[in-house]
Structures are given as C-alpha cells and as structure tokens.
Chains A and B, each alone.
Chain A
Amino acid sequence: MNKISLIIQREFISRVRKRSFLIVTLLVPLAFAAIIIIPALLAGNSGSTQKVAVVDKSGYFKGHFRDVKDVYFKFLDTPIDSIKKNYAKEGYSGVLLIPAIDLNRPSGFEYYSEAQASIMLENALTSNLNDAIEKQRMEVNGIDKSKLDAIHADVTVDFRNSKDEKKGSSAASFVLGYASGFIIYLMLLLFGTSVMRGVMEEKVSRIAEVMISSVKPFQLMMGKIIGIAAVGLLQFIIWGILLTVLSMVMPLFLSPDAMHAASQSSSNPQMAEAMQKVSFVMARINWPLFIGCFVFYFLGGYLFYSSLFAAVGSLANEDASDVQQMTLPVTAPIIISFLIVIKAVADPTSPLAVWASIIPFSSPLVMMARLPAGVPGTVAIWQLLLSMVLLIAGFIFTTWLSGRIYRTGILMYGKKITLKEAFKWVFSKS
C-alpha cells in the first residue's frame, strides 16, 4: 500500500509541477471570465457618444426619433451636398439621408460615415425608422395605438412539479444539464488520454520493466490512475475557488451600468427572460446533491474509462499511430454518450435518456445531463441509485479487465498487438 501511495505522489506531483498545469488551471477560469466580461466592457464602452445628423426630405420622421443610449439624433435642413462634406467638422459622426418616400413602399435610406457603423447604431437607425413608419401607417389606417397595445398578449406558463409544487424551468435545466454533461465529456477524454500517454511513456522509455521489478503491474496502473484523478480534482477545486472569487470581484471592476448592459447586450427580451429563469432555477437546485453527484460521476466515469485507456496505452509500441486506432473503441462510447446528452437534455424522461443514464458506459454523462431536471421527479431515486451501483460495478469490471491486459502488454515489445490478442490475455491463466 505504501508503494502505491508513492506512485500516486509521483504521478500527482510530476503533473502539478508542469508549467502546462498552471497555465490550463489559470486560463480556463480567465477564459470563462473573459466571455462574461469582454461583452460587458464592450457594451459599456461602445460609448463615445455618437451624434447623427438626419436630413429628412419626406417630413414623416421629425419628432418621432428617440435618442437611444449614446446615439443622439439631430434633424437638419441644410442641403444634402454640404452636410455630406462637412458633417465631421460640425461634430457629427454620420449623416442619415431620408428621401421623399412612399409610405407603402419605403426605401432609399442611406447613412454616410467615415467609420464602419456599429451594430448598435444600425439597430438604433432601423428601429427608429420602422417605428416611425409603423406609427404613420397606423394613423393613416385609423388604428389607435393604445388599443393595439391593449390587445397585445404576453403570457408565461409556470412549470411546477406535481409532487412538491416547486417551479421549474426546462431552459435552466437544459443549460445546466448540457454544461455538466459537456464538462464530464471533456474531462473523461482529457484525463483518459493523459493516463494513456503516461502508460505509453512508461512502456516506450522502458521504465516499466524496472518498475515491475519493484511493484505489481496493477499497483503501477492504479497509482497512475489515482494520481491523475487527484490532479483533476485539484483542478476542479481551483476552478471552483477562482470562479467564485472572480464572480465576486468582477462587479467591482465594472460599473453597474456595464453589468446591466451585459445582461441586456443581447437586446433580446426573450433571452433576458430566459436568463432570469435560469438564475431563478439555479437558486432552486439542490446544490449539495448536484455537486456530490457531479464529483461521483466524474470519478466513476473516470475510473471506468481511464483503466481502459491504460490498457490501450500498454499495447503501444514505438509507433504511436497504432494506438490511435486502438483508442477508438474507448473514445467512441464517450462520444456516443455525449450525443445522447444532447437528446437527454431536451427530453430527460425519454426511454433512451433513462436507460443511458443507468448503463455505466454512458451514465456519467447522461445522468449529469438529466439531474438538473429534478430529483426526485424527472429522475427517480431508484434510477439514480441503480445508476450509481452499476457504475461502481462497471469500473471494478473495467479495472479488472484492463489490469489483465495491462500486465502483459506493458512488457510486450517488438510486435504489433491486436485487440483480439489482448482480449485473449484477459482469460489466460496468470
């Protein structure tokens, strides 16, 4: 037991000490933060205010243009040619030309500027023009705007669980389920191949034979697997801390205005509503259960797959391209599981989602995709427990199977080993 802890230590320390570990561990939360901060900063700072000169030949628009944030409109009567030449000198960032239009077929609007117009400006121009034209048309057709507004309907449906009456939102569980399924998918591939490369390195550099004269092959394999799992958990913990700290610190750097702009930057009311629902459901979720399950399924899935990756690594020879082919039987189930995740978040109670969340090869991803939809409720307790028990049984089985392939493969040099041969070793006597 002492030996295996030495191996775990070495695997852990040699990886954590690498510069790449530091970089990945720090960059991922920064990238996350950047995704949130940069649009907010951009939205907040698009802000050199723009003055737009409007020359209206139709006469429909004067008085109907609303200034929006950082864009101001000024109606001018100066001739087009002179303003087109002089708008910059007079402090305008551009000129909007409105020709004499036919209300039924409005066209021919033009905007002149030196700099490329921003999307915000474009939105401001088109929405103002459209609103004004619609208003004119309503008047022409005798429609009362206040009546129209009174007719306009905007209902929402509260989704409640029939057992506990709690509000739910499919959008929120969709996002959370998808995200956790995706993270486990990435981690399994990332750490699985890390195990595989470690095993290959040991075999190709011939240290394996020296090691096996001190420790059992199984100890060597498990030491590596557990050591890398510890690296993964450490990474999770650091990310968790960094994200918490960043989310607390971030508002200090950004004006509340900018934060608001960020959440509104989509300028899409449906999206904003969805965001609100998401944050509402986030607060409703049983976080201890969710995080506990996340760690369980990450570790379970990792143990299930990493030993298989180790077995494949042990079949490697100097020629790394052989291994590429042999990893496919191991990576394919992970990729298929992720495809099921996409289905499962959309419909967490479909038979495919239910069974895939119970069967060990796909349960680490699919169960995590289903969990945010609610326990108990969408995911019955028996399903969760059965899935966990099967996953434990599953990784014990794959570890046993891989151990038997590994101990032969790690010392087998020279000839190319096929998967068929490797499976024969599983049942060969010791």
Chain B
Amino acid sequence: MADAARPIDLTGRQTAAQRRPIRWGRILIYALLILGLIQAVFPFLWMLSASFMSLAEVTFGYLLPSELRFQNYVSAWEQANFSQFMWNSIRITIITLIGQMLVCIPAAYAFARMKFFGRNVLFGIMLSTLMIPEVATFIPNYLTVIWIGRLSDNLIGLPWLNNWPALTIPFMASAFTIFLLRQFFVQLPDELWDAARIDGAGHVRYLTSVVIPLSKAPIMTSITFAFIGAWNALLWPLMVTQTDAWRPVAVGLTKFVSTDAPNELHLQMAAGVMMIIPILIMYFFTQRQFTEGIASSGLKG
C-alpha cells in the first residue's frame, strides 16, 4: 500500500530500489544453480582435459594439459582393443533395441487397448517385477541361460553363452518400457479406434498404421532408455562372457582399467571419453523426451 501512495517516478533509480531485495534473491539462486552446474560437469571436463595430458600431468593432478595429445586416443583405442568392444556394444545394442520394440509395443498395446481375461492381474505381476533387484535374480538367470543355451546349441547350433542371445534376449521384455508405452497408448482418443474399425481395420492394422506413427515420441524415449541400459550394463555381461568375441565396451573398459593398463591413467581417461561419446550424442538428440519420460514415469510410479 505504501508503494502505491508514493508519487510515481519513472527514473531508473527508483525501480532499481524497488526491486533490490528480489534481485539479491535472484543472484543467490543463479549462484547456487551455477555451483550445481560446476559440480555436475567438473568430472566430465576434467576427464576430457586429462585425456590429453601426459601420465605425469595426470598424476600431479593438473587442471589443464600442456599440449593436446591426440595420440592418447589412438593408443587407448589400440591397447584396449576398442574396435572389437565398440563393435560388440553396437551389435548388442541394436539387437536389444529391435527385440525390445518387437516384444514390448504389442504387449503395451494389449494392456492399453484390449479387454482380456486376467488383464489387471497380469499387469500387476509385470509391474511387481520392477521391484526385484538384479542381484536377486542373476544367479538363477545365469543357470537358466546356460541350460537354454545348451538346448539351443544342440537343436539349432546357436549357443547362448559368449554369444548375442545371452546378452540381449533376457532384456527384450522390459516391464519399464511396456509401462511407459502403455501410459501413452491409453491416452489416445477412442474416436481413432472407432474410425479405424469402421474402415475395417483390425488390431494389428490399427497398431501398425495409426498407433505407432502417433507414438514416435514415447517410442523414442524407450529406445533411449534401452540404448543407455544396454550400453552401460556391467554385471550381467561380466557373468555371461568369457571371451572378447561379444564382450561389450563396459566390460572392455573395466578390463582395461583393472588388468591391461592399471597405471596409464591418461589412456584410461581417453578410453572413458570414447565410451561416453555415443551416449552423449544420443542424449542430446533425445534429451527432451528423455527427461519428460523420467518425470512422468516418476510421478505415476
């Protein structure tokens, strides 16, 4: 009220005085946010910087390299056998992605759009598997995979261990992806389905020519999740691979750091940067859908 009673003065000083308390708050907010920014990126920036250093510079904890040693990347790539591991990771990721979409899209569609016996029970059981930790299931799953692998080796000559099936097939049905896609499919208006039915389309037709084209964003989100999951997985690949033929880059890097070059810190950093780059590219293309996917699933969960 007091402010309104004052004569209105349009000089800059007056407005500045009015806003001052708010502005201090703003400055504090930005200061804190930038502090957060620094803590989030510092390890990445230092990693990048250290990947160009000499070994001595890394061990002395320098902030910046004295010169850009691109040679580090070449040496790391060769010494860590990265051409093999990268190619493995790419193959594993692509197979997992394709399989996951083939398995999860129809399942999510069925949960969202179809009425069938036991739907709620099945959906509940499926969601409950999200709560079961990997450490509780990896031993029996390993035994199962050994057994199925022997069976398939004997029947069709396709072993599972040290091969792509053990690394990809257990991840093709993801309860999380099914849940994410179902949440989107449910929101599609019923009129679309009615119109498609009048045109004589069945479920398969409706799914392939209406639902999937409309769901590019959530499908992209789940692809990103699956990509990151496949690229970052360590425990399971450690279990089911004994040779380098199908080992993904996460295992390769672990091996490089712990046994091949435990003391060549600069090369470790260069190898780490190379492992991060594909994820970084993927993330910057899809970050919008990605963060929104996390946020919405977080709230609904």
Q: Is B a genuine binding partner of A? A: no
